[in-house]
Amino acid sequence: MTASTTTATLATRRNGALVDAMLMTWRNLKQIPRVPDKLMYGTIQPIMFVLLFAYVFGGAIPVGGHSNPSIYREFLMAGIFAQTMSFSVASSSVGLADDMQKGLVDRFRSFPIARSAVIAGRVVGDLVFNAFVMLVMVGCGLIVGWRIHTGVIDTVIGFALLLGFAFAMLWVGALIGLSVPSVEVAASAGLIWLFPLTFISNIFVPGDRLPGILKPIAAWNPLSTVTSACRNLFGNPNPFVTDSFPSRHPLLLSVLYILAIIAIFAPLAIRKYTVATSR
């Protein structure tokens, strides 16, 4: 086989895998209108967080020395965006665990498709769903008084960062969904470890108000860096300013976190799927 033939064969395989992944993405997106509960609960939860913290705790949590509900709402929204994107772990973990439990993965194995396409289709489909949820969150934030005070470029970078973070977390969820024995376990395993990360961060409370031992943990928390980066990009209050690398370079560190998560968990998820379907 000549070098040109080998190159053409590899290109054909790559194109085939891409087409397979697009088909699996379309399959997952078509499930959304057929299961309206997923759409309803996927949007209600973040809206509840916004309303509860904005109106119940908004006047009790000072931001930058001011206990002003309107300032807190602008402070809050970037954190809710980051939290919602991180919670996308559950959608991919539950979705893949459900496919495994129903035997759909065994059926996919009998099809002439790339093995990576099944996981990639799930991840990309869930990413599109999370983009829709983020649009709903933007509308909710505008209603409660959140505003963007920067230009178009910074705004686009902020939302792209959030989607990139969701994409990385979806690969974590894919690995979890392929590693657990049931959908019920996937639902718990996909979220239970996120709650400590969520609350030991600067999402709901300014990081400078946390106890001393928790400040460095919160500073290096990926959720905190994504939140701080988005606050800077949207021009929202960001009082967590310390002489540390995460506080001075949240955008850079967020991108590094995203790339590291994808580089670690995407190959592990694909490998786990390969092992699970070769039994």
CA-based nearest residue to 219, from 233, 208, 230: 208
Long-range contacts of 67-71 (CB under 8 A, 24+ apart): 70/145, 71/237
What local confidence, expressed as pLDDT, does residue 12 receive?
40
CA-based nearest residue to 198, from 64, 76, 71: 76
Across the chain, mean pLDDT equals 81
Q: Among 45-49, 105-109, 202-206, whose mean pLDDT is lowest?
A: 105-109
Find which of 5-9, 155-159, 265-269 is predicted with most confidence, using mean pLDDT. Answer: 155-159
Over residues 139-163, the mean pLDDT reads 94
Q: Among 18-22, 67-71, 146-150, 229-233, whose mean pLDDT is lowest?
A: 18-22
Q: What is the pTM of this model?
A: 0.86
Using the structure block, give the residue that is written with the tokens 């983020």: 134
Q: For residue 20, give its domain range.
A: 3-277
Q: Count structural domains, the chain.
A: 1
Give 111-148 as a DSSP string.
SSS-HHHHHHHHHHHHHHHHHHHHHHHHHHHHHHT---
Condensed to tens digits (0 to 9), the pLDDT of residues 211-246 reads 878 888 888 999 999 999 999 999 998 876 567 888
CA-based nearest residue to 190, from 204, 171, 206, 177: 177
For residue 66, the cross-strand partners are 63
Condensed to tens digits (0 to 9), the pLDDT of residues 75-89 reads 999 999 999 999 888
Q: Cα(20)–Cα(17) distance, rounded to whole angstroms? A: 5
pLDDT beyond 80 at 13: no
Over residues 109-135, the mean pLDDT reads 79
Q: Please give, one letter per residue, the 3-state secondary structure of 35-73.
A: CHHHHHHHHHHHHHHHHHHHHCCCCCCCECCECCHHHHH
Q: Looking at per-residue confidence, does 129 or 112 come out higher? A: 129
Over residues 19-48, the mean pLDDT reads 72
Over residues 41-51, the mean pLDDT reads 80
Q: Give, in degrees to the nearest 5, the angle at Cα 205 between 170 and 254.
A: 40
Using the structure block, give the residue that is written with the tokens 């402070």: 75
pLDDT beyond 70 at 114: no
